Amino acid sequence: YAPWCPACQQMEATWESFAKESERLGITVGKVDVTQEPGLSGRFFVTTLPTIYHANDGVFRRYRGSRTLEDLQGYILERKWEAVEPVAGWKSPSSIMMHGMAGLFHFSGWIRQIHNYLTGTLGVHVWVSYAIFILATLLIGLLLGL
């Protein structure tokens, strides 16, 4: 989820109720703010918000059902997750490919922090910051090419 996401805000009360029922259902329920954990959004290939995954014994399945409390509980109690195709091995959050994707998302967050530091703290104009990143990209490319 993300705090600015209207669909996430709309589902928040339902998700909290589902989390309160987690012990009775024999599951653990959690939520991750993708603005605070960008690496996880890369690892789980989050393209829409909110995104719900069911994980059991290292097998991940993306929940695409209705977002009501009854349907979420039914998904677990009636074991509907067994009929859902697991996430493909190469796209699994535990795969090497998605580990690399998480690294890219962390790197992009680091670049954004540098940009915010240059523009916010040092008062550098936005286009100057872009120019610095362009030059850094070209220089790194030249050095790696040598």
Q: Residue 11: how many CA atoms within 13 Å on its side-chain side?
A: 22
- Closest listed residue to residue 83, CA positions, set 91, 75, 93: 75
pTM, to two decimals: 0.66
Domain residue ranges of the chain, discontinuous segments joined by +: 6-91, 96-145
pLDDT at residue number 46? 82
pLDDT at residue number 39? 77
pLDDT at residue number 92? 67
Top CATH class, 6-91? alpha beta
Residues with active-site annotation: 5, 8
Enumerate residue ranges in the chain where pLDDT < 70: 90-92, 95
**How many whole angstroms separate alpha carbon 21 and alpha carbon 8?**
19
For residue 48, give every residue at least 6 positions away whose Cβ sits within 8 Å of its Cβ, in sequence order, or none.
none
pLDDT at residue number 115? 93
For residue 96, give every residue at least 6 positions away whose Cβ sits within 8 Å of its Cβ, in sequence order, or none.
none
Widest CA span of the chain, in angstroms? 61
pLDDT at residue number 68? 93
